[in-house]
């Protein structure tokens, strides 16, 4: 059965006979040059792809002797290429880009896939296969492609006991107890999938870190994984527990300004590099949700980050220091805390430090306005942190394509340097001339057969990688290629799946948190609805903190008459959002507390409009079900049935969400459910 294990690298035979014949003419002989592990990986991938897609084992030759030759290798290892005058193209594509071009060699039609590095060649091979997978022509090619960001990294929140924080697709892929001796072939498939979308780094461990990962017994295991990932251009990173010098080092303090502590980290880094010479560096969650950090010693985030940065700098390592900080003891709007703590540190970090910022100021909600830190730290490279695991969007049970969420943030204009200073330009480094640029995706991967639990979760992994490579791609074009590679090239089925995918995130917003509401999920697990008071210990962990519903109205007032969080944005953004006429309604209750009778653009009252969104969300899920049902027979049965059942759970739970929220808020609005809607129960 098609169980989804092959992800978007299925390489099933091209169905259209005419197309198949044309492809075969374009690949009659292969000249592969170079013999590094990366080139071997590229070669293996190419042959696996061609034997599946074209049912072909092309002959390998040393010279071009017939039409349809395919030349693959770096410019340095492929002498014929030096005759083709590719210098200016190769300069443009940098160290990871590639170049695919139709050329004439010895009067024969040939295609070259080349790059400055072996990794570039590997990326080029994946791209070439994708052309076939997505039914594109192989004639007259002239493709120059290179990543816009330097660091494209998955963050696994995987614990050493193989449980996964906020993981909904089984246990961790890393079989710590069998490593380093048993190397599951799945590790290679994981690396292939990542390389196919250009992901070039992986943080193996949870941000809520365990210091033991830095001990020799575990470093041996990390080394084994790094060895598998290396040929695929993927570096390994680890999370560090800030108190490690005390916990595993026997020191009395972890104060970052203490010379002994600094020395301990230097030695520890040196030790790590003896195992993994190309170790990427550290990801750190400090002074956040109970994790230890420099503030325990009266120091600031820069002191902590710089100490670690100094320890890895000489080996080319980096530190990704997270800005996800908030504290219920700070008597201020949680949404303001990261900005307040980090902007004073702008420019105080070492060159090899990223500050890693979640897309929004609260926490991976179905919809959040962009984080005000983007654009506000011109001298410190900011790294985007997106979450692929759907912690607040129905886990691996609900279908929610996240690329539209990612794009909404990336395309937002910060106005940090006047109009056009989008979040994408902040993080790709072009706005403030950052020396490095990056995007992190909190992985949704586990050891389920299909990797992500929900078959459509794969699209979130895929689209994250594509956007980290090029934030300018559209959610729709990414969806299209993913569907073609993962499900079908049949245009009718493709369009139906695309319709489902493209509307899915908005459906979730509608039945969970419409109009800028947030964090209405049940306490701690974050799955089903819980708009009521559920945690008496901490205000900021209870939904009422976020929606502030009362008899006067609903919403969090973050304007100048409220928490003033809006003043953290640049003036044009602040002005737009502060003004009820110009604040987009999708963000309305994020920034404003409004009476239930407030008139919306629809002419309806806020109450009616809110209820309308909850009902619409359910309707949208029902439409997704109908569209999915229409696909019976045009996709494989296994995945058809699996998605069908998941959608029926989603429908049931969307109703539960709608009814819980509408009935809960009705206690305050004391207004009726508008006529024509089924009765919530």
- Which residues participate in catalysis according to the annotation? 289, 363, 391
Torsion of CA 526, 528, 533, 534, to 10 degrees: -60
* Structure tokens, 222: 């990390």
Nearest alpha-carbon partner for 135 in 547, 481, 458, 613: 481
* Structure tokens, 592: 């404003």
Q: State which of positions 384-403 bind ligand GCU (CB under 6 A).
A: 391
Strand 142-145: give its sheet, edge to edge: 59-60, 29-32, 69-74, 108-115, 98-105, 142-145
The site string for ligand GCU over 109-148 (x = CB under 6 A, - otherwise) reads ----------------------------------------
Query: What is the rounded CA–CA span in Å between residue 161 and residue 147?
Result: 35
- Of 99, 123, 218, 324, the residue at the interface with ligand GCU (CB under 6 A) is 324
- Of 101, 166, 574, 592, the residue at the interface with ligand GCU (CB under 6 A) is 166
Whole-number minimum distance, CB 107 to ligand GCU, in Å?
Answer: 59
Nearest alpha-carbon partner for 445 in 464, 431, 432: 464
Give strand ranges (E) for 76-186.
98-105, 108-115, 142-145, 151-155
* Structure tokens, 152: 């494209």
Bridge partners of 70? 30, 111
Query: What is the rounded CA–CA span in Å between residue 564 and residue 517?
Result: 18
Which CB atom, from 46 or from 207, has the smaller least distance to ligand GCU?
Answer: 207
Which CB atom, from 207 or from 246, has the smaller least distance to ligand GCU?
Answer: 207
Which CB atom, from 207 or from 410, has the smaller least distance to ligand GCU?
Answer: 207
> Strand 281-284 and strand 29-32: pairing?
unpaired
Whole-number minimum distance, CB 400 to ligand GCU, in Å?
Answer: 17
Which CB atom, from 42 or from 286, has the smaller least distance to ligand GCU?
Answer: 286
CA distances from 129 to 27, 30, 451 (A): 11, 14, 22
CA distances from 612 to 303, 617, 666, 674 (A): 50, 9, 13, 8
Whole-number minimum distance, CB 208 to ligand GCU, in Å?
Answer: 5
Whole-number minimum distance, CB 660 to ligand GCU, in Å?
Answer: 21
Which CB atom, from 368 or from 391, has the smaller least distance to ligand GCU?
Answer: 391
* Structure tokens, 187: 């590790």
The site that binds ligand GCU (CB under 6 A) totals a number of residues, namely: 9
Whole-number minimum distance, CB 257 to ligand GCU, in Å?
Answer: 25
Stated as kind and residue range, the H or E segment containing 496 is: helix 491-512
Q: What is the DSSP letter of 344?
A: G
Size of the chain in residues = 681
Whole-number minimum distance, CB 545 to ligand GCU, in Å?
Answer: 14
Which CB atom, from 333 or from 481, has the smaller least distance to ligand GCU?
Answer: 333
Query: What is the rounded CA–CA span in Å between residue 107 and residue 103?
Result: 9
Which CB atom, from 166 or from 574, has the smaller least distance to ligand GCU?
Answer: 166
CA distances from 434 to 202, 242, 328, 481 (A): 22, 26, 33, 31
Q: State which of positions 652-681 bind ligand GCU (CB under 6 A).
A: none
- Of 255, 333, 363, 578, the residue at the interface with ligand GCU (CB under 6 A) is 363
Whole-number minimum distance, CB 363 to ligand GCU, in Å?
Answer: 5
Give strand ranges (E) for 96-252.
98-105, 108-115, 142-145, 151-155, 201-203, 235-239
Which CB atom, from 171 or from 638, has the smaller least distance to ligand GCU?
Answer: 171
Work out the number of other CB atoms within 10 angstroms of the CB of residue 603. 8
Which CB atom, from 82 or from 163, has the smaller least distance to ligand GCU?
Answer: 163
Which CB atom, from 166 or from 371, has the smaller least distance to ligand GCU?
Answer: 166
Whole-number minimum distance, CB 391 to ligand GCU, in Å?
Answer: 6
Cis peptide before 108 (omega within 30 of 0): no
Bridge partners of 60? 30
Whole-number minimum distance, CB 327 to ligand GCU, in Å?
Answer: 13
Nearest alpha-carbon partner for 354 in 322, 392, 325: 322
Tell me if 78 sits within 8 A of 30, measured CB to CB: no
- Sole residue written with tokens 């794009």: 407
Which CB atom, from 208 or from 567, has the smaller least distance to ligand GCU?
Answer: 208
Whole-number minimum distance, CB 53 to ligand GCU, in Å?
Answer: 40
- Of 101, 192, 241, 285, the residue at the interface with ligand GCU (CB under 6 A) is 285
Query: What is the rounded CA–CA span in Å between residue 224 and residue 228?
Result: 7
For 599, the 3-state DSSP assignment is: strand
* Structure tokens, 394: 């129905």
Q: Per rule CB under 6 A, is residue 165 in the interface with ligand GCU?
A: yes
Whole-number minimum distance, CB 388 to ligand GCU, in Å?
Answer: 13
Query: What is the rounded CA–CA span in Å between residue 39 and residue 33?
Result: 8
Query: What is the rounded CA–CA span in Å between residue 223 and residue 662?
Result: 52
Residues of the shown chain interacting with ligand GCU in the complex, contacts defined by CB under 6 A: 165-166, 207-208, 285, 289, 324, 363, 391
């Amino acid at each position: 059965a098609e169980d989804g294990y092959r992800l978007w690298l299925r390489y099933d035979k091209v169905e259209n006979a005419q197309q198949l014949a044309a492809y075969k003419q374009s690949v009659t002989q292969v000249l592969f040059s170079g013999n590094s592990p990366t080139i071997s990986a590229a070669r293996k991938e190419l042959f696996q792809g061609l034997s599946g897609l074209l049912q072909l084992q092309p002959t390998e030759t040393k010279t071009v002797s017939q039409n349809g030759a395919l030349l693959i290798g770096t410019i340095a290892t492929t002498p014929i290429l030096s005759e083709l005058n590719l210098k200016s193209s190769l300069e443009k594509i940098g160290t990871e880009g590639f170049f695919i071009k139709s050329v004439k060699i010895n009067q024969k039609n040939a295609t070259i896939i080349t790059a400055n590095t072996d990794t570039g060649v590997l990326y080029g091979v994946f791209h070439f296969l994708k052309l076939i997978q997505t039914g594109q022509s192989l004639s007259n090619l002239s493709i120059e492609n290179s990543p816009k960001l330097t660091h494209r990294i998955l963050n696994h929140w995987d614990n050493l006991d193989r449980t996964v924080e906020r993981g909904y697709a089984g246990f961790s892929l890393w079989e710590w107890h069998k490593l380093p001796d048993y190397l599951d072939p799945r590790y290679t498939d994981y690396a292939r999938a990542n390389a196919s979308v250009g992901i070039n780094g992986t943080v193996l461990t949870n941000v809520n870190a365990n210091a033991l990962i830095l001990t020799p017994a575990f470093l041996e295991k990390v080394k084994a994984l790094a060895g598998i990932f290396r040929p695929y251009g993927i570096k390994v990173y680890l999370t560090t527990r800030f108190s490690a010098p005390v916990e595993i080092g026997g020191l009395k303090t972890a104060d970052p300004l203490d010379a002994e502590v600094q020395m301990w980290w230097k030695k520890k880094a040196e030790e790590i590099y003896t195992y993994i010479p190309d170790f990427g560096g550290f990801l750190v969650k400090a002074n956040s949700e109970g994790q230890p950090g420099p503030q325990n010693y009266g120091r600031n985030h820069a002191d902590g980050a710089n100490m670690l940065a100094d320890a890895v700098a000489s080996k080319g390592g980096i530190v990704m220091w997270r800005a996800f900080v908030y504290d219920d003891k700070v008597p201020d709007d949680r949404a303001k805390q990261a900005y307040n703590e980090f902007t004073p540190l702008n420019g105080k970090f070492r060159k090899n430090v990223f500050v890693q910022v979640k897309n929004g100021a609260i926490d991976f909600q179905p919809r959040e306005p962009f984080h005000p830190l983007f654009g506000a730290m011109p001298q410190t490279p900011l790294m985007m942190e997106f979450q692929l695991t759907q912690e607040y969007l129905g886990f691996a049970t609900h279908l929610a394509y996240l690329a539209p969420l990612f794009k909404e943030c990336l395309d937002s204009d910060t106005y940090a340097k006047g109009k056009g200073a989008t979040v994408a330009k902040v993080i790709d480094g072009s706005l403030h001339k950052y020396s490095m640029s990056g995007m992190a995706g909190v992985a949704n991967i586990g050891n389920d057969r299909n990797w992500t639990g929900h078959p459509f979760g794969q699209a979130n992994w895929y689209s994250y990688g594509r956007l980290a490579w090029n934030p300018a791609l559209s959610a729709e074009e990414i969806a299209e290629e993913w569907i073609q590679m993962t499900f079908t090239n049949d245009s009718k089925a493709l369009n139906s799946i695309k319709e489902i995918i493209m509307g899915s995130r908005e459906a979730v917003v509608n039945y969970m948190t419409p109009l800028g509401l947030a964090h209405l999920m049940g306490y701690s697990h974050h799955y089903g609805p819980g708009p009521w008071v559920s945690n008496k210990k901490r205000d900021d962990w209870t939904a009422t903190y976020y929606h502030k519903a009362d008899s006067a109205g609903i919403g969090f007032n973050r304007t100048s008459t409220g928490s003033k969080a809006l003043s953290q944005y640049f003036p044009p953004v602040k002005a737009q959002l502060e003004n009820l006429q110009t604040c987009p309604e999708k963000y309305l209750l994020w920034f404003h507390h409004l009476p239930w009778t407030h008139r919306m653009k629809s002419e309806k009252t806020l109450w009616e409009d809110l209820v309308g969104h909850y009902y619409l969300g359910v309707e949208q899920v029902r439409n997704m079900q109908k569209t999915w049902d229409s696909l019976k027979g045009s996709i494989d049965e296994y995945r058809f049935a699996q998605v069908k059942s998941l959608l029926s759970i989603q429908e049931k739970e969307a109703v539960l969400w709608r009814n819980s929220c509408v009935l809960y808020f009705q206690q305050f609005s004391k207004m009726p459910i508008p006529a024509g809607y089924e009765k919530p129960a």
